[in-house]
Structure 1
Amino acid sequence: MASFSSAALEKRLTELSNSQQSVQTLSLWMMHHRKHSKAAVEVWHQEFQKARTNKRLSMLYVANDVLQNSKRKGAEFDSEFYNILPDVFQHFAREDSDSQGIKAAERVLSIWEERVVFDGKYVEKLRHILRPQSTEIAKTSSSHNEPERKRKRISSPNTGSGVSGPEPTIEELVRCLSDLEQSASGDVVIRKKISELPKEFEDVGSVDSIQSKAEAEKLLKKVDEAVLLLADYNGRLTAELEDRAQGLRKLDELITIHQAELEKTEKELEKCKTKLATTAKVKKELKIHIESLPDLSLLPDVTGGLAPLPAANDLFSSS
């Protein structure tokens, strides 16, 4: 793998596309040169500031891949990206609120929050930079709804001791399943690369057949690249297993919650059916009663054509 230099990274960033393979290849290259993390992130930041929206998205995906997969070997990139990400999200915030860039940035923030790439307060800070008005509204709504959420958590059917964390939402499950569409196990390109690795890499005994130092160093370079490729894929598969387990837990919880809601709705439906039947019966009886009442319109007209009643004087006067 080529040695690190700022010019080499600039060239790779210029050639970066929005394909998964392109993003992962550059991410792998940066992680391989982790000892140059400070310089790498500085170059990344400089190029990001000059890039257009589509390229910025691809660069954000590279940063996301580096941050998630480099943690197993150290936190060099975490501290470097930590310092520049507020400015990065400020660039996205200047775009239209419905733009692809803002939506993609929000999705990355959700992933960082779920997988604890950064602590919650820092993620919330970036979210506030991205959508300041939305986060203020969300905080106000959250404070108003907190007592109701607490009641729901206490009475939730999926609790064993009467206390649990926040209930999962359908949106969270959909997002989790959406993330799994780009899972490591479905990465055909990387799996093909692994399947094409030389057989000597699986045979420790093949080392004894090497006769020259130059040949050994050449093979060592290839082995280093293979180890990096396999270690990265191993980490991604591990993360996928965790994501699938988390998705399964959310699904189980949602099934339990919606089963309880189903039973509650069925009871409400039975009550409503009973009330409907009673009301229909009253309506029927009322119609029968109305039909049994006399039709006042058929009585003779007593309001006109009759002589006026005699006065009191007329009743007692002699004829």
Structure 2
Amino acid sequence: MAGFNEDALKKKLDDLNMSQQSIQTVSLWLIHHKKHAHTVVNVWYRELVTASDSRKLTFMYLANDVIQNSKKKGPEYNKEFGNKLGKVFDHLGGLRLDEKSIKGLNRLLTVWEERSVFDSDQVKLYKKELNKGQGKSKENKKDKKDKKDKKDEGRKREHSGNSTSLTKKHRRESRSEPIKATTPEPRQRKDSEGEIGQFVVSPHVSSPPSDPPEPEQLIEALQELESAATSDAVIREKIANLPAEVSDVNLLNKLQDLAAGRALCQKVEEALSMLEAYNKRLAEEMEARKAVARMLHDYIAYQKDLLAQAEETLEEHRQKQGKVKKVREELRAHLQNLPDISKLPNIRTGGLAPLPSAGDLFT
């Protein structure tokens, strides 16, 4: 994986976009360089502050991915981001962010609170900082709306006073103007709904990626399935060999006396107890297999991300290798054009002609 330096980090943050692949690729790179967590978070904070308002949510999604996926690797990022998030949300709360960004950030904080990523009181403080300017903006919108409603009401009253002398045709014409004025509203509302729909689909808010299991944990879970209920041949053979009368009501007519009935009752109770225990084991096995399936899904997704990162790193190093080869070829060509010093006359042995004297220069 590529070495760490601030320039490389800044480039990755500049290229960061809202796609899941982009966020997870940068996140994996940062987690790999967790020993530089302090520098990473400081650079991330500086870049977030200077980024455009539309990109700030992307920076927060990256922080969320790093925080949640680095928990098993160590507490470095959780601690470093925890030291900066107070300033981050104070900065975000002082901006006029669009509705999509505000909803995304609030949803992110809710996820952190539900998953105990940070202390509940701390998350509430972040929410307070983030939404500190929202109340005022809502009040201003409400005041503007009230003023507009009063103006509209005054116009309606004036219009109703003058409309007594109008015909139905004139009334329809007088109403046509406000209809034209309001036609863009449904289209604007449609656009906002599309943005909200895109926000809901975003995996980093509605469902942050799950932590992949450790290989040892996955191997242990798979080994446990080898001794699951469906692999217990002994109990399955016992169930298969149960007498027909314990499961067939029609055979009860063949009972001849009370002793036979009590014996059958004993067999039924034993069969029922065995089946209940085995069914319980099967239910537990089903849940275990579901859990293993989820673990495999998360592990495969994580390996795919690592593969994508490895392919990107390989391509990067292939390009560097090509540049180095080119330099080597240029260097070889340059060396071939240089004179061979060993073939030059030796100064110490008098191989060179003496320098001319001053008299020789002027005669």
Q: TM-score, normalised by structure 2?
A: 0.41
